[in-house]
Amino acid sequence: MTVTSANPEILSELDRPNSYIGKVVPRPNLERLMQGRGLYVSDMELPRMAHVVFLRSPHAHAKIVGIDATEARRLPGVIAVVDRPGACSGYYALGRRTLAFEGPQIGAAARDCD
């Protein structure tokens, strides 16, 4: 079997005069990033934006018998508490009824920003 190597005489796509390969590429966004003036997702503030807090299971293996969210609902500014079983039986809004790991999300509460 013969191996045919690429003919060095023939230029490839990478050798085009406008190729980026091997070139220093200007980065016009660096100035603002270095001055702390970039805009990241966490820097954005949108109209009527709310913050969400996830309740995580403190147990490694447990069955959710019930979640008492009355106190969370009473707090000022709370928009919603999501803790009901979903349409699919056996599943909570954000997870299965039986937990096999520590830390999965089992509930969420949203409140307006202040």
Partner 1 sequence: VTAPVPISLEVNGERVDAHVLPRLNLADFLREHLELTGTHVGCEHGVCGACTVRVNGDIIRSCLMLAVQAHGASVQTIEGLSDSGEVADLQAAFRDRNALQCGYCTPGMLMAAQDLLMQQAEPGREQIREHLSGNYCRCTGYQAVVDAVETTARRRAGRQT
Positions touching partner 1 (CB under 8 A) are 27, 29-31, 33-40, 42-43
Specify the residue, 13 or 43, whose C-beta has the smaller distance to partner 1: 43
Contact status, residue 96 vs residue 90, Cβ threshold 8 Å: yes
Listed in order, strand segments (DSSP E) in 5-104 are: 50-56, 62-63, 78-82, 91-92, 95-96, 98-99
**Distance in Å, CB of 109 to partner 1, minimum:** 17
Specify the residue, 11 or 39, whose C-beta has the smaller distance to partner 1: 39
**Distance in Å, CB of 75 to partner 1, minimum:** 11
Specify the residue, 30 or 53, whose C-beta has the smaller distance to partner 1: 30
**Distance in Å, CB of 74 to partner 1, minimum:** 14
Q: Which one-letter DSSP state was computed for residue 59?
A: -
Specify the residue, 34 or 65, whose C-beta has the smaller distance to partner 1: 34
**Distance in Å, CB of 39 to partner 1, minimum:** 8
Q: What angle do CA 55, 77, 67 make, to 5 degrees?
A: 30
The DSSP H or E segment spanning 71 is helix 70-74
- Measured CA to CA, the distance from residue 45 to residue 59 in angstroms comes to 35
